Amino acid sequence: MAEADFQVWVSAHQSHFEIQLRQLLPRSDTVPQRLHAAMRYSVLDGGKRVRPLLAFAAGELAQANEARLNIVAAAVELIHAYSLVHDDMPCMDDDVLRRGKPTCHVEYDEATALLVGDALQSLAFQLLAEHTLNDNPVQQLQMIRLLAVATGSRGMAGGQAIDLDSVGKNLSVPELELMHIHKTGALIRAAVMLGARCSSALTEESLKHLDHFGKCVGLAFQVVDDVLDNEADTATLGKTAGKDAQRDKPTYVTLLGVQAAKKMASELHAEALDTLANFGQPAHRLHQLADFILTRKF
């Protein structure tokens, strides 16, 4: 019953969010048409939308306004889509399949893929700057800063730099954790915090709990991703499976083995749920999303 209710909530938010994204992205019949078409190709009709769902769930906990949540969720998803487009390019992971379809540089070309990433990132910050996200403008500036830090060299881009540098190397578990907290974790953590900060209802202490929850599920997401890269097939994932081993990249699976990696994901999940206990029932969607992050098969 609870599972069915969660599926209804997920589907309703995913379809509603898809409509929002369609409206927020530039139309493909406006100049420059090819770039706009490639941006829409890279963002629409695909992906689990985990980060937007986390923003919506954290926002519901904070009783935030839905219109504001749509904007922060879109900004985070645009940053995520940009990172996937750039990550797939020949100068980085060099992949041909993403979300079950040809990657952006394959469908279009490399220069277009580069520009798609650039333009999606700019659009994310444009949205945060042109919509009201919090009654207090100082708080809103803090939110824009939060996403900027999570995206830049002290967040996702920095994690990607460490990742590219790690190919063929033996990292320690703490080094791997540092890389993934930045590369994957920072944006997931930002999604939770941006959703919560769309209202001023939560105390600083509650925000700290949520931030810790975001940190735990962000890292758990990556540990599970490493396990799936090792265990799942390309058709299920919608992206090339076994890529990490192929590129000789250190992962939780190569460092710890599959069983220990799964145990680590479970421990992070348990820590995330412990943190949510501070909120009780109003945090049930975040609880369900943490369960999904642990048990996902794609």
Residues that bind ligand GRG (CB under 6 A): 47-48, 50, 80, 83-84, 86-87, 99, 156-157, 160, 183-184, 222, 225
C-alpha distances (whole Å) from 76 to each of 24, 50, 153, 169, 285 are: 13, 10, 16, 31, 19
Q: Which is nearer to ligand GRG, 206 or 230 (CB)?
A: 230
Q: Which is nearer to ligand GRG, 140 or 184 (CB)?
A: 184
CB of 264 to ligand GRG, least distance (A): 15
CB of 205 to ligand GRG, least distance (A): 29
Q: Contact 41/175 with Cβ under 8 angstroms? A: no
Instruction: Give me the residue whose beta carbon is nearest to ligand GRG.
Output: 47
Question: Exposed, middle or buried: residue 248 (CB in 10 Å: 0-12, 13-18, 19+)?
Answer: exposed
Q: Which is nearer to ligand GRG, 156 or 190 (CB)?
A: 156
C-alpha distances (whole Å) from 240 to each of 77, 103, 154 are: 21, 11, 28
Q: Which is nearer to ligand GRG, 86 or 212 (CB)?
A: 86
CB of 27 to ligand GRG, least distance (A): 23
Q: Which is nearer to ligand GRG, 83 or 134 (CB)?
A: 83
Measured distance CA(39)–CA(11) in Å, rounded = 23
Cβ-Cβ contacts under 8 Å for 80 (sequence gap 6 or more): 47, 51, 187
CA-closest candidate to residue 261, choices 235, 227, 218, 286? 227
Q: Which is nearer to ligand GRG, 60 or 87 (CB)?
A: 87
Q: Which is nearer to ligand GRG, 50 or 146 (CB)?
A: 50
CB of 50 to ligand GRG, least distance (A): 5
DSSP 3-state assignment of 27? coil
Measured distance CA(100)–CA(260) in Å, rounded = 29
C-alpha distances (whole Å) from 16 to each of 74, 96, 254 are: 12, 29, 39
CB of 121 to ligand GRG, least distance (A): 9
Q: Give the H or E element holding residue 158.
A: helix 156-166
Taking phi over 0 as left and psi of -120 to 50 as alpha, with beta for the rest, 100 belongs to: left
CB of 275 to ligand GRG, least distance (A): 21
CB of 131 to ligand GRG, least distance (A): 23
